[in-house]
Every structure is written in structure tokens, then in C-alpha cells.
């Protein structure tokens, strides 16, 4: 599974709650998210998953300038222009290149969908039989004896365990674990300031792009 963002920005497809906020990490954001209009969250997620796949294959963000990675404006411009290149030294199969080219399409209505991805040759290659669409359909039937639904109590127990920090004899900076309160508070405040500065800079660059008219919906 791929986690795109926390549940604070999640939307319900059943309640027809379409997102329209410009949120997300710059390197992963889809072109339509910059429009400041309603967009299809699922199709935007397809783009973000494509970025994740590219990072795993190449080891770098596809739309960032490697010589100037903190330049959000340049990243946004590359995203809108769908300007990316797979390094020559990275061997990627033709099927995988085809999938990426169908994911990185600026117009979401022309972008490959999740359903289409599941039937793409690259996705199906070496896919365990139990993970195929047909096998999953059979498994998730309630009359299937091997299928079990977790109870609310079981889920809450897992969530509770996840909230507990692992035992540590030393302070783990950045995660607020340990006993050195002064260091924790200082590091926490510094991190918050850095995040706020990044968010402000990112928002500023997005507004600049909108004001300049560089963003053209295709």
C-alpha cells in the first residue's frame, strides 16, 4: 500500500466530496491540483503514485532539478510541462516506461486510471496469483471461510500499539522520544519553524505561478 497523505486531507468518493485544495509535497503534486478548482482526487493520486514509483526505480524525484532541488517554482514549472527524464544509466523495461508515460499526463481525463493500471502488462508481470483481480474478488466474499473481518476492538488495539514509542535508552531526536525534555522542545520548535517556512515558500511559489498565467489547463 502507498500512503499519499494523512487522513486530514482525505475525501469521500461516496459523498461526492471532491477536493479543491492546493495541498501536498511539491515533488509529488499533480498538475490539476495547482488549478485551485475541484479535481478528481483518485486521478491526482495516480500521478503521485507514479512519482513514488519513479523514485523507487531511479532514486530521484522526476520533476525536481537535481542541481536546485529547493527551487519550488522550477519544480512546479516542470510538473506543469510534464518535463521529466529517466537517466540513461538506469535500466527500465519498455513496459515500465510505457506505464510512466501514461501516468504522467497533464490532463487527468487522459491519464491512465487505477483500473487500467491493474491490467497493464508491467503491473501484471510476476504478480502473485492471489493478488490478481479475480483472486481478490473471490477472497473478499464474506462466505469465503478464509476471509475474516477485523473487529473494532482489534483495530483499536493495533492503533494503540502503534502510538507507543519503542523502548529506547537514549533520546531519539526529531521523534520526541527519550527523557531530555529541553532537547526535545528545542528540536520540536525548530522543526515546526522549518516546516512553516517550507509551506510559506511553497504557497508563495504557487501563487506566483497563478499570477503569471503560466499554468494552462490542457
pLDDT, tens only, 34-79: 777 788 889 999 999 999 999 999 999 999 888 887 888 888 899 9
pLDDT, tens only, 133-163: 777 666 666 566 666 667 778 888 888 888 8
What DSSP string describes 45-68? HHHHHHHHHHHHHHSS-TTS-TT-
Helices 94-103 and 41-58 cross at an angle (nearest 10°) of 140
Handedness of CA 62, 65, 67, 73 (dihedral sign): negative
Task: Please determine, for residue 164, whether its predicted confidence score (pLDDT) is greater than 60.
Answer: yes
| Per-residue burial over 193-205, b = 16 or more CB atoms within 10 Å of its CB, e = otherwise | eeeeeeeeebeeb
Structural domains in the chain, CATH included, are: 7-165 (1.10.510.10)
Arithmetic mean of pLDDT, 164-183: 50
C-alpha cell at 164: 507507543
Q: What is the pTM of this model?
A: 0.61
Going by C-alpha positions, the residue among 104, 121, 103, 101 that lies closest to residue 112 is: 103
Query: 50 or 197, which is more confident?
Result: 50
Residue 106: Cβ-neighbour burial (10 angstroms; 0-12, 13-18, 19+): middle
Q: Is 177 helix (H, G, I), strand (E, B) or coil?
A: strand
pLDDT, tens only, 87-138: 888 999 999 999 999 999 999 999 999 999 999 999 999 888 877 777 766 6
What confidence category does residue 218 fall into, taking pLDDT thresholds of 50, 70 and 90? very low
Output the pLDDT for position 180. Answer: 46
Arithmetic mean of pLDDT, 178-206: 56
Range picked from 21-25, 104-108, 212-216 for highest mean pLDDT = 104-108
131 Cβ neighbours under 8 A, 6+ residues apart: none
What confidence category does residue 33 fall into, taking pLDDT thresholds of 50, 70 and 90? confident
Instruction: Please answer whether residues 62 and 126 qualify as being in contact, where contact means their C-beta atoms are separated by less than 8 angstroms.
Output: no
**Within 13 Å and on the Cβ side, how many CA atoms surround 15?**
5
Output the pLDDT for position 194. Answer: 57
Amino acid at each position: 500500500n502507498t500512503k499519499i497523505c494523512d487522513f486530514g486531507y482525505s475525501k469521500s468518493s461516496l459523498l461526492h466530496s471532491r477536493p479543491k485544495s492546493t495541498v501536498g509535497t511539491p515533488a509529488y503534486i499533480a498538475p490539476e491540483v495547482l488549478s485551485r478548482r475541484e479535481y478528481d482526487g483518485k486521478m491526482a493520486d495516480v500521478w503521485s503514485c507514479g512519482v513514488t514509483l519513479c523514485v523507487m526505480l531511479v532514486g530521484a524525484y522526476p520533476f525536481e532539478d537535481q542541481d536546485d532541488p529547493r527551487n519550488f517554482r522550477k519544480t512546479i514549472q516542470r510538473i506543469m510541462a510534464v518535463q521529466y527524464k529517466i537517466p540513461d544509466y538506469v535500466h527500465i523495461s519498455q513496459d515500465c516506461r510505457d506505464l510512466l508515460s501514461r501516468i504522467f499526463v497533464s490532463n487527468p481525463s487522459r491519464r491512465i486510471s487505477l483500473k487500467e493500471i491493474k491490467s497493464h502488462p508491467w503491473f501484471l508481470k510476476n504478480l502473485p496469483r492471489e493478488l490478481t483481480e479475480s483472486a481478490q474478488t473471490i477472497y473478499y466474499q464474506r462466505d469465503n471461510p478464509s476471509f475474516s473481518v477485523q473487529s473494532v476492538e482489534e483495530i483499536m488495539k493495533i492503533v494503540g500499539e502503534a502510538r507507543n514509542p519503542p523502548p529506547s535508552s537514549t533520546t531519539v531526536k526529531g521523534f520526541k522520544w527519550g527523557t531530555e525534555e529541553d532537547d526535545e522542545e528545542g528540536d520540536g520548535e525548530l522543526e515546526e519553524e522549518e516546516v512553516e517556512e517550507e509551506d510559506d515558500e511553497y504557497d508563495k511559489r504557487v501563487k506566483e505561478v497563478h499570477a503569471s498565467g503560466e499554468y494552462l489547463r490542457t
